[in-house]
Structure 1
Amino acid sequence: MSDFLVVGGGVIGMMTTLQLADAGHSVTLLERGQCGREASWAGGGIVSPLYPWRYSAPISRLSTWSEGFYPELALRLLEETGIDPEYRQKGLFYLRVDDEVRAMDWAREVGKPLERVSGDFLYAKEPEAAPGCRGALWMPTLGSIRNPRLTRALRRRLAEMDRVSLREGCEVTGLRLAGGRISGVDTMEGTVGGEQVIVCGGAWAAGLLAPLGVSLSVRPVKGQMILFKAPPGLVSRVVLMDGRYVIPRADGRVLAGSTLEEAGFDKSVSGEARESLWHSATRIVPALAECEVEHHWAGLRPGSPDGVPFIGALPGVDNLHVNAGHYRNGLVLAPASTHLLVDELLGREPIVDPAPYRLAGRVTA
């Protein structure tokens, strides 16, 4: 029996497993499909909430810590696996922001570099950005990561660790509760045990806990994105406008996203969404209209009422823990939220105050 049993092999589950294994513990990771192929793969990879000044302090605290950690993580994974997660810290432009005063106040309060720049400054750095802008907000320290490569690198690293048992295609069908503890996890391949059980099931987390009589306010929220095959250098930085964004990759490809849809667990794509995303992207960078749309996909975010994730022990069960409900910011918050839970599991000093994320008072049973 492993010291820890992690349910869910997205970026949250894999980072949790990595940190526990780094600390010398044995970990079994169960994933119903392939690790990193759900929301962690489908997102854009901006290492910040889209408009960070519009989020609550608990989200900002996790985001700030994670932003500082990603460069180190990307270098480590490249060295250990040979897979480059392509962390790029080239900054971000916000176009047509209608709450600029609030943004600047937030930046001063948290000490984040954010400034109003002229149109000349914008077009010197991004000549193909939406024409006619007299200015923009510029955050020079913001980075992005190529999340499919990040998840591939995490998976490879875990597969090579002696203390990790990586079990893909292993769907969890139930949690066995006996004497106030989880005595085992039922799967399609039989029952699996772990001294401590951690549910990192993303949009599926609520369904995993429901048979225990636990109501976790996490639901699937579909997001669709498209990928342009653009020439390298057409766009160099993340650009946001009117709630939509374009994200460049090192090979020239440009992601555009994303939709917000309440559609349950439906991951189908639609022509209507594709057209909407195409029009948004070509308004942000008109030259994208001449580029082929190479791919169109959808993912399911783990939506929660206020976007603040549920992190910590489940009240009333001695050995069951949860890390879920990150909504649009799973990749952004992953390093900090997993570190915070591992701090709790191992009795370490927490990186931030854990109180806002605890399940007590936020779940019903």
Structure 2
Amino acid sequence: MSDFLVVGGGVIGMMTTLQLADAGHSVTLLERGQCGREASWAGGGIVSPLYPWRYSAPISRLSTWSEGFYPELSLRLFEETGVDPEYRQKGLLYLRVDDEARAMAWARDVGKPLERVSADFLYAKEPEAAPGCDTALWMPTLGSIRNPRLARALRYRLDGMPRVTLREACEVTGFRHVAGRVTGVDTAEGIVEGDRVIVCGGAWAAGLLERVGVELPVRPVKGQMILFKAPPGRVSRVILMDGRYVIPRADGRVLAGSTLEEAGFDKTTSGDARESLRASATRIVPALAECEVEHHWAGLRPGSPDGVPFIGAVPDMERLYVNAGHYRNGLVLAPASTHLLVDELLGREPILDPAPYRLEGRVSLA
């Protein structure tokens, strides 16, 4: 029997497993499909909320801590696995921001570098950016990571750790519990026991917790994205305009996203979304009109009422924990949110005040 069972093999589940194994504990990670192939694979990889000044303080605190952790994590994983997560700190350019004063006030409050720059500065950085902009906002410290490669590196690392057992294609169908205490989970392959169970199921977390009478307000929110096969240097850094964005990769490819759709667990793509994304991307960088759209996909975000994740013990069910509901910011918040939960699990001093993320008062119990 493992010290911990982690249910869900996305970035949240894999980072949780890594930290617990680093601390000397045995961990079994259960994933219904393949590790890192749901929202963790489908997102864009910007290591910041899109417009961070529009988010609440609890999200900002998690985001700020996580941003500082990604360079170290990326280097570690590259060294240990040979897979480069491609962390790139090239900054972000915001075009046509209509709440600039609010953005600048937020930056002053949190000590984040953000400045209003001229058209000359903008086009020196990104010559192909949307023409006609007199000014832009520039956040030089923002980074991005190639999230499919991050997920692959995490999986490779876990697969080589003796304290970790990875079980893919192993769907959890229920929880084993006696007198209000969880002892393991039911799967199609039988019972898996663990001293403590952590649900990191993303958009599927609510369905899991329903089985122990907990109504977690997390729902799937579909997002579609496209990928341009662009030459290296066409776009060098993240550019955001009118709520849509383009993200360059080291090989020149450029992601463009994303839609927000309430469609349940449907992950089908649509021609209308493809054309809408292509139109947005070519407004941000008109030269992308010359590039082939190489790929088009959809993923399911774990939507929550205010975007603040649920992190901590499940009320009235001893030894059951959850880390879910990050909405559009799962990858952004993953290092801090997983560290915060592992602090609780191991009785350590928390990196942040855990109160805003606890489930008490935020979930309904049957």
Question: TM-score if structure 2 supplies the norm length?
Answer: 0.99
Aligned to 1:165: 165
1:79 counterpart = 2:79: yes
2:267 aligns with: 267
Q: What whole-Å deviation, never above 9, does each CA across 1:320-361 have from its counterpart, x for those lacking one?
A: 000000000000000000000000000000000000000000
Mapped to 1, the partners of 2:90 and 2:16 lie a distance apart of: 28
Q: Following the alignment from structure 1 to structure 2, what is the Cα–Cα distance between the partners of residues 178 and 201?
A: 23
Q: Distance in 2 between matches of 1:45 and 1:267?
A: 19
> What is the correspondence of 1:68-107 to structure 2 with a 5 Å cutoff?
68-107=68-107
Letter in 2 for 1:87: Y
Equivalent residue number for residue 128 of structure 1: 128
Identity %: 86
Q: Secondary structure at the match of 1:124?
A: helix
Aligned mates of 2:55, 2:306 — CA distance in 1: 9
* Cα distance in 1, alignment partners of residues 161 and 126 from structure 2: 42
1:156-305 alignment runs, 5 A limit: 156-305=156-305
Post-superposition offset of 1:50: 0.1
Does the residue aligned with 1:322 lie in a helix, a strand or coil?
strand
Equivalence for 1:58: 58
Deviation, 1:182, is: 1.0
| Residue type at the aligned position of 2:305 | P
Q: Give 1:92 deviation, angstroms.
A: 0.2
* Residues 6 and 30 in structure 2, CA contact (< 8 A), matched pair in contact too: yes
- For the Cα contact (< 8 Å) 2:184–2:195, is it kept in 1? no
Q: Distance in 1 between matches of 2:198 and 2:315?
A: 13
CA positional deviation for 1:261: 0.1
Q: Aligned residues, how many? A: 365
SS of match in other structure, 2:107: helix
1:245 CA displacement? 0.1
Supply the distance in 2 between the matched residues of 1:341 and 1:212 (Cα, whole angstroms).
Answer: 20
Whole-Å separation in 2 of the counterparts to 1:92 and 1:353: 29
Give, in whole Å, the separation in 2 of the partners of 1:229 and 1:128: 16
Q: Secondary structure at the match of 1:28?
A: strand
Q: Per-residue CA shift, 1:246-298, capped at 9, x if unaligned?
A: 00000000000000000000000000000000000000000000000000000
SS of equivalent to 1:86: coil
- Give distance in 1, aligned partners of 2:218 and 2:270: 24
- 2:4 aligned partner: 4
Distance 1:215 1:180 in 2: 16
Aligned partners of 2:136 and 2:153: how far apart in 1?
A: 35
Find the residue that maps to 1:193 and give its secondary structure.
Answer: strand
Point out where structure 1 has 5 or more consecutive residues left out of the alignment: none
Secondary structure in 2 aligned to 1:256?
Answer: strand
Asked if the contact 2:130–2:286 (Cα under 8 Å) also holds between the matched residues in 1, the reply is yes
Q: Deviations over 1:281-321 (max 9, x none)?
A: 00000000000000000000000000000000001111000
Aligned-residue CA RMSD in angstroms?
0.4
SS in 1 for 2:214: coil
Alignment pair present for 1:146 and 2:149: no
How many angstroms apart in 1 are the aligned matches of 2:93 and 2:211? 45
Tell me how far 1:76 sits from its aligned partner. Answer: 0.0
Partner amino acid for 2:166? L
In 1: Cα distance, 2:179 partner to 2:74 partner: 42
Q: Is the 8 A contact 2:184 2:196 kept in 1?
A: no
Within 1, Cα distance between the matches of 2:324 and 2:236?
Answer: 32
Deviations 1:188-237 (A, max 9, x none): 11000100000000000000010211100000000000000000000000
The 3-state SS of whatever aligns with 1:265 is coil
CA contact (8 A) 2:281 2:288 kept: yes
Match for residue 343 of structure 1?
Answer: 343
Rounded to whole Å, the distance in 1 between the matches of 2:159 and 2:189 is 19
**Which stretch of structure 1 is more off in the superposition, 180-189 or 223-232?**
180-189
Report the equivalent of 2:26.
Answer: 26
Using the TM superposition, give the Cα deviation of residue 177 of structure 1 relative to its aligned residue in structure 2, in angstroms: 2.2
The CA deviation at 1:135 is 0.8
AA aligned opposite 2:294: E
Q: In the alignment, which residue of structure 1 is the partner of 2:311?
A: 311
For residues 73-103 of structure 1, give each alpha carbon's deviation from its aligned partner in whole angstroms, at most 9, with x where no partner exists: 0000000000000000000000000000000
- Report the residue type matching 2:38 in the other structure: E
One-letter code aligned to 1:324: A
Please report how far the alpha carbon of residue 184 of structure 1 lies from its aligned counterpart in structure 2 after TM superposition. Answer: 2.0
Structure 2 unpaired stretches of 5+: none
SS of structure 1 residue aligned to 2:89: coil
Question: Counterpart amino acid of 2:181?
Answer: R
Q: Quick one: distance in 1 between partners of 2:123 and 2:336?
A: 35
Specify the SS of the correspondent of 1:79: helix
